[in-house]
Amino acid sequence: MPIYHGLYVSLWSTLLPIFLIILLLFFKDSYLNYIVIPFLSEETIDLGIDEILYVKSFLINNISSLSTLISSGFISEGDANLLVEKYQESRVVSFSSLVLLSIILGFVSYKKLSVRYDARRRVERILKFIFFVFSTIAVLTTVGIIFSLIFETLRFFSQVGFFDFVFGTHWSPQTAIREDQVGSSGSFGSIPLFTGTLLITAVAMSIAAPLGLYSAIFLSQYAKPKTRDFLKPILEILAGIPTVVYGFFAALTVGPFVRSCGEYIGLTVATESALAAGLVMGVMIIPYVSSLSDDVMTAVPLSLRDGSLALGATKAETVKKVIIPAALPGIVSALLLAISRAIGETMIVVMAAGLAANLTANPLSAVTTVTVQIVTLLVGDQEFDSAKTLAAFALGLMLFVITLALNVFAMIIVRRYRERYE
């Protein structure tokens, strides 16, 4: 088919140049460095590293416009002319060589074409390769996550001891500016963060597990199709509400409500209590529990259910004694996934939980979580070499490992379970 002949030529003439353009973009920075550095004046070099960097980045950013370069005063008029000329020249050279390459490649492949030439197979082989490249992006993302986290974490552990971080019970990441200030070295014991996370997760799961499970049982075993059509969207909307809305609701309504309730029965409750954040998080997680356990319960073979009903068991007994035990692995994995969701949830706790790292199991007090600390450490400007910033990456790595372990564990359970019934 002629379309494949055309595709063949166009793929040949564009692929390699596109690849080269991407490469060029990568090396553009170092090339600019290379042509700019000889033009830095003696005075600038005397000033010190920061100034050199500043002048360099100024020159590089404005290299295409002659007038800004001259008016900046970092460089004499003649030098500026020379620099811009050199830059334009390199652009012209790279552009024209790319065009030339593309023409040559197009021409060569065009010459190969003939009526009998099997262009379709070749085009498809090229496309297949492109597809493969795309499919590795997902892997590259994971690799990127792992490497960036591990790299920064290693830098963190070069400043703070590993055991101080993992087993330390005191968290106050503020490092003082001057050496002699009180608490000049921050302490990075992560235990209070993880107990806080666990506390809030526990509160959330104590809401989400029963409500989600009972909802799933009702929807999958009892509800008539019409009721189901009416009730299921409620859970879907709950799942679709952005977490920032839950956070706002928790901070504005639930927090003060829990506090005044506690005061009414004579308890002191912090406004940013773990209870308030956990309650709202529990509501957020209900749909995750219910939709997954709904799926596994409907997947239980009908013969089991019918057998139980035929023996005279009531529906509730069938659910409790037959369906739930049969679906247990699936339900457990649904709960595990929900827990991993709760641990990684950020916005609710950022807005409704506290900042102070208290080591406590009392849900009425304010605790902080891993995600809250990551956000507080990283929002705003930060340098990439202070222990404070790097601590966030270490926390992120631990978070990643924990949620990954939970997910993998849940997936293994589900896979075994599926094998049993399918």
Partner 1 sequence: MSKNLSIRHRAEKRFIAYGFISLILAATMLATIIGSMIYRSIPAYTNYSIDLEINMTEISAEDEFEDINFRGIIRSSLFSFFPEVESRSDKRKLFKLISSSASYTLRDFIIENPSYINKKFYFNVLFTDDSDLFYKGYVDTSLSESERRLDNQEVAWLNELKNTGRVKNKISKNLFLNGDSREPEVAGFWGATIGSLITISVTLLLSFPVGVLTAIYLENFAVKNRITDFIEVNINNLAAVPSIIFGLLGLAVFINFFGMPRSIPLVGGLVLSLMTLPTIIIATRSSLQSVPPSIREAALAMGASEMQVVFQHLLPSALPGIFTGTIIGLARAFGESAPLLLIGMVAFIVDIPATFTDPATALPVQIYIWADSPERAFVAKTSAATLILIGLLILINLAAVLLRKRYEVKW
Provide the mask over 10-39, with x wherever binding to partner 1 is found by CB under 8 A and - wherever it is not: -------------------x----------
Give the β-pairing of 187-188 and 171-172. antiparallel
- Rounded to a whole number of angstroms, the minimum distance from the CB of residue 200 to partner 1 is 14
User: Which CA distances in Å does 17 have to 95, 130, 241?
Assistant: 10, 15, 45
Q: Does 251 bind partner 1 (CB under 8 A)?
A: yes
Backbone angles phi, psi at 171, to 5 degrees: -120, 110
| Given 60, 172, 404, 409, the residue binding partner 1 (CB under 8 A) | 404
> In a 10 Å sphere around its CB, with 0-12 CB exposed, 13-18 middle and 19+ buried, how is residue 239 labelled?
middle
Provide the mask over 105-144, with x wherever binding to partner 1 is found by CB under 8 A and - wherever it is not: ---------------xx-xx--xx-xxx-xxxxxx-xx-x
Q: Does 407 bind partner 1 (CB under 8 A)?
A: yes
Query: Could you tell me if 173 and 197 are in contact, meaning their C-beta atoms sit under 8 angstroms apart?
Result: no
Q: Does 182 bind partner 1 (CB under 8 A)?
A: no
Q: Residues 183 to 222: which contact partner 1 by CB under 8 A?
A: 210-212, 214-215, 217-219, 222
Query: Could you tell me if 70 and 77 are in contact, meaning their C-beta atoms sit under 8 angstroms apart?
Result: yes
Q: Does 157 bind partner 1 (CB under 8 A)?
A: no
Backbone angles phi, psi at 172, to 5 degrees: -150, 95
Q: Does 345 bind partner 1 (CB under 8 A)?
A: yes
- Rounded to a whole number of angstroms, the minimum distance from the CB of residue 7 to partner 1 is 10
Interface with partner 1 by CB under 8 A: which range of 85-93, 170-178, 236-244, 321-329?
236-244
| Given 197, 246, 272, 275, the residue binding partner 1 (CB under 8 A) | 246
Q: Does 343 bind partner 1 (CB under 8 A)?
A: yes
Q: Does 378 bind partner 1 (CB under 8 A)?
A: yes
Q: Does 319 bind partner 1 (CB under 8 A)?
A: yes
Q: Residues 71 to 110: which contact partner 1 by CB under 8 A?
A: none
Q: Does 379 bind partner 1 (CB under 8 A)?
A: yes
- Give the number of other CB atoms < 10 A from CB of residue 145: 14
Q: Which tokens in the block code for residue 82?
A: 């020379």
Q: Does 145 bind partner 1 (CB under 8 A)?
A: yes
Q: Does 375 bind partner 1 (CB under 8 A)?
A: yes
> In a 10 Å sphere around its CB, with 0-12 CB exposed, 13-18 middle and 19+ buried, how is residue 46 labelled?
exposed
Q: Does 346 bind partner 1 (CB under 8 A)?
A: yes
Q: Does 242 bind partner 1 (CB under 8 A)?
A: yes
Q: Does 8 bind partner 1 (CB under 8 A)?
A: no
Q: Residue 167 carries which DSSP code?
A: H
Q: Residue 85 or residue 317: which is nearer to partner 1 going by CB?
A: 317
Q: Which H, E and C letters describe 71-85, residue by residue?
A: HHCCCCHHHHHHHHH
| Given 283, 323, 331, 334, the residue binding partner 1 (CB under 8 A) | 283
| Given 72, 253, 268, 271, the residue binding partner 1 (CB under 8 A) | 253
Rounded to an integer, what distance in angstroms lies between the CA atom of residue 217 and that of residue 308? 16
DSSP string covering 353-378: S-SS------TTS----HHHHHHHHH
Q: Residue 189 or residue 247: which is nearer to partner 1 going by CB?
A: 247
Q: Residues 348 to 367: which contact partner 1 by CB under 8 A?
A: 350-351
Query: Could you tell me if 222 and 294 are in contact, meaning their C-beta atoms sit under 8 angstroms apart?
Result: no
Q: Does 62 bind partner 1 (CB under 8 A)?
A: no
Rounded to an integer, what distance in angstroms lies between the CA atom of residue 22 and that of residue 323? 56
Interface with partner 1 by CB under 8 A: which range of 94-102, 157-165, 302-310, 339-347?
339-347
Rounded to an integer, what distance in angstroms lies between the CA atom of residue 401 and that of residue 75? 51
- Rounded to a whole number of angstroms, the minimum distance from the CB of residue 368 to partner 1 is 14
Query: Could you tell me if 357 and 192 are in contact, meaning their C-beta atoms sit under 8 angstroms apart?
Result: yes
